[in-house]
A and B are shown apart, each in its own frame.
Chain A
Amino acid sequence: SQTIHQWPATLVQPVGSPLSLECTVEGTSNPNLYWYRQAAGRGLQLLFYSVGIGQISSEVPQNLSASRPQDRQFILSSKKLLLSDSGFYLCAWTPIQRYAYEQYFGPGTRLTVT
């Protein structure tokens, strides 16, 4: 069966510090991968998605970046965090072999920027 991991689970970082969040998927190959952010009391905001190694599409211009160094690994980064970067960061994957292209979410990382 497939499993998606995210770490860390929680993170408190000062403004201006760097960020690195990691997501890995097990039990599948060549998944589509996604990064979302959910701010308190708000909906899901798609940040990046990837259909293959090294292929990143950005949905929102901001101080975040993403990379996919391996087939089942997706990394979200920032060089300098802003207060507005606080939120619940969710990684998701899609089994592209499935017609519906349903998404499955990881457990998330709760980021607080102080």
Chain B
Amino acid sequence: QKEVEQNSGPLSVPEGAIASLNCTYSDRGSQSFFWYRQYSGKSPELIMFIYSNGDKEDGRFTAQLNKASQYVSLLIRDSQPSDSATYLCAVKGGGSYIPTFGRGTSLIVHP
């Protein structure tokens, strides 16, 4: 059974701080890793994907992947109240069409 674990939160950070969201996965064969943002009542929106060890930066977002530790994280710099949402981590194995989703972490950025 492939598992993706996320702390449900809520994670509360002040505006302007760095928000750090974490995700662990059980399948060592996993090759692709995704972060989605889901606002309340809306569908998930892909914000980052990564498939090589290390960091990948896109604007205020940085995805970090450590395959040896089976750990992927998302850093949000200069957090804004508009970043308040649930963040879903998804992991996909090689040769698979189906990602496994975590339950998500609720992020609250307070002014």
Contact = CB atoms under 8 A, between A and B. Distances in A.
- Our verdict on whether A and B bind, yes or no, reads yes
A106 B97 contact: no
Interface stretch (A12-20, A64-72, A77-85, A94-102): A94-102
Given A102-B32, A102-B34, A43 B97 contact: no
A111 B17 CA distance: 37
A106 B44 CA distance: 8
A32 B97 contact: yes
A56 interface: no
Interface residues of A, number: 22
Interface residues of B, number: 21
A86 to B, nearest CB: 15
Given A102-B34, A105-B43, A44 B88 contact: yes
Nearest to A43: B103
Contacts of B98: 46, 49, 59
B49 A100 contact: yes
A113 interface: no
Contacts of B46: 102-105
B111 to A, nearest CB: 26
Interface of A: 32, 42-44, 46, 49, 51, 59, 88, 90, 94, 99-108, 110
Given A44-B44, A102-B46, A105-B36, 17 more contacts: A43-B104, A49-B97, A49-B98, A59-B98, A94-B97, A99-B32, A100-B49, A102-B32, A103-B46, A103-B99, A104-B46, A105-B44, A105-B46, A107-B43, A108-B42, A108-B43, A110-B41
